[in-house]
Amino acid sequence: MTYRYFEDFRPGEIVTLGSRSISEAEITAFARDYDPQSFHIDAEAARHSAFGGLVASGWHSCAIFMRLFVDGLLKESSALASPGVDEIRWLKPVRPGDRLSGKVTVTDITPSRSKPDRGLVRHFCELSNQRGEVVMTMRTLALFARRKS
């Protein structure tokens, strides 16, 4: 991958981020620490829930996406920070054994008016399972440094 600066992003560009599998042990460990609802931590209780089985926390899906985003794009870029996320949607349950793949679509690029050494890149982010079903979407903002002239 080529190191990327603000100027290298184009609206409409799609970047695939790779994939990662999720195990039952990972689901329950994350949930015990951060989202200890029964359908995330107890397989038996989860069978009697609306999900019909154990599911990952949506926040766990976000964390997995973030890892894919860093490994697939941000660590080889001039990323400075993120001022936030505009929207997160959890569309389908993530289950043990799912293989999750990430991709981002650049939706907008805006040079900073107050700090000419950087610009804002907006992304539409998707996390999909091995069946191609989109399980989560996010709209994110990221600041990237510009090339020094």
Write a three-state SS string for the chain: CCCECHHHCCCCCEEEEEEEECCHHHHHHHHHHHCCCHHHHCHHHHHCCCCCCCCCCHHHHHHHHHHHHHHHCHHHECEEEEEEEEEEEECCCCCCCCEEEEEEEEEEEEECCCCCCEEEEEEEEEEECCCCCEEEEEEEEEEEECCCC
Which residue is it, tokens 């941000």? 74
User: Which residues are 121's β-sheet partners?
Assistant: 109, 142
Residues of the chain with pLDDT under 50: none
pLDDT of residue 25: 98
The Cα-based distances of 17 to 69, 73, 98 in angstroms read 6, 7, 16
pLDDT at 149: 74
Q: What is the pLDDT of residue 2?
A: 84
Beta-ladder partners of 125: 104, 138
Strand partners, 139: 87, 124
**24: closest CA among 45, 51, 48, 53?**
53
**What tokens appear for 38 in the block?**
């029964």
Whole-number Å distance between alpha carbons of 73 and 16? 9
Give the amino acid at 85.
Answer: V
Q: What pLDDT is recorded for position 1?
A: 66
Note the pTM of the prediction, 2 decimals: 0.95
